Amino acid sequence: MIEVNEDWCKGCRICIERCPVNALEESDKMNKRGVRPPRLKKVNECNYCRLCELLCPDLAITVFTDDKKKESRKTLLRPVGGRK
């Protein structure tokens, strides 16, 4: 699941557009700024890749595996690439 700090969202849709499995959509509720923050689709294939969380320019999205085990997932920051 994802948690969105709704008032920080500026509605850039980067999370929605760049989700590899197309799991996000705009919610039907507007926030204070008059934009629609993202939410998970009812049926989705979210695999917790956390790309939306890492790309959000306003640090407004947090990805959890599920409600009960909020901290079970290890950080995914084991990047590769670049000359060494």
Partner 1 sequence: MVEVKTADQLNKKFLRDGMWPTIFCNGCGHGVVLEYTLWALEELGWDMDKTVFASGIGCSSRMPGYINADGLHTTHGRAIAFATGIKAANPDLNLIIFTGDGDCAGIGGNHFIHAARRNMDMTVIMINNFIYGMTGGQLAPTAPLGSIATTAPYGNIEPPFDICNLAKALGANYVARWTVTHPYQPIKSVKDALSKKGFSLVEFLAPCPTAFGRRNKLGDIKKHWEWYDNNTILIEDYERIMNYGTEKEKEEVKDMFPIGVFQDLNNPGFFERYEKLVDRVMGGSPKTPVKAKAVVQK
Among residue numbers 2 through 41, which ones bind partner 1 (CB under 8 A)?
3, 5, 7-8, 10-14, 17-18
What's the closest the beta carbon of residue 75 comes to partner 1, in angstroms? 5
Longest Cα–Cα distance of the chain, Å, equals: 47
Residue whose CB is less far from partner 1, 43 or 77: 77
Torsion of CA 6, 8, 11, 12, to 10 degrees: -140
Among 27, 40, 41, 64, binds partner 1 (CB under 8 A): 64
